[in-house]
Amino acid sequence: MRLAAQLSEGIEVLGLALPRETQTRMLQYLALIRKWNQVHNLTAVREPEAMLVRHLLDSLAILPHVAGPRIADVGSGAGLPGIPLALARPEWRVTLVETNHKKTAFLQQARIELDLKNVEVMTERVENFHPVDGFDVVISRAFSDLADFAGLAGHLCAPGNGGGRLVAMKGVYPHEELAQLPAQFMVEKILPVTVPGLEAERHLVLIKQI
């Protein structure tokens, strides 16, 4: 009950409105990570309260700044931020891209247990993943530095002037990484993000291809 109250309060602080059923499924997802963590090292964060803040609320904090309907989560790991986004926005289509077979086995299990009909799991290196249609948002949470992210995942963005965006979730303001960004990419905006219960800095970097 303590976790449910903490999640509900965090969602309210973020200015989001999510049904109680959705919040319950998010806690089920957290429990699934904890269960698999006993055998597979999905995440270094072990305490339930810390997982709720650093995984769920950290992922949900970006919701006001991204738009679907087609989302790719590159280097998804345990499904972050893709699964929380898919739970919060069932009308979006979320593709989780991950190379590690043990992690994609977990992602497939989470998709089944949480009945995530709007989620697809790809066991693939991002540079080898070439979908027919591009994505509106290609997001990464702890995938690589900005230059590698743009170079490896830029082709996944939907083409055109109003096309897709690369969105990188970062901690402190990434001064050095921004200087290394390839010339064909332009930073559209950098937004400070506040995560309830987390004192560490968070920034969201939105990049588009020129």
Q: What is the CATH number of domain 2-209?
A: 3.40.50.150
User: pTM for the complete prediction?
Assistant: 0.95
pLDDT category at 1 given cuts 50, 70, 90 is low
Q: Looking at the predicted structure, is the pLDDT value of residue 41 above 80? A: no
What whole-number distance in Å separates Cα of residue 94 and Cα of residue 161?
Answer: 22
**Of 40-54, 153-167, 180-194, which one has max mean pLDDT?**
180-194
| Integer Cα distance of 115 and 117 in angstroms | 6
Tens-digit pLDDT profile for residues 84-123? 999 999 999 999 999 999 999 999 999 999 999 999 999 9
Of 170, 3, 138, which Cα lies nearest the Cα of 74?
138
> Where in the chain are the domains?
2-209
Nearest of 152, 88, 143 to residue 119 by alpha carbon: 88
77: tokens are 């790991």
SS3 (DSSP) at 71: strand
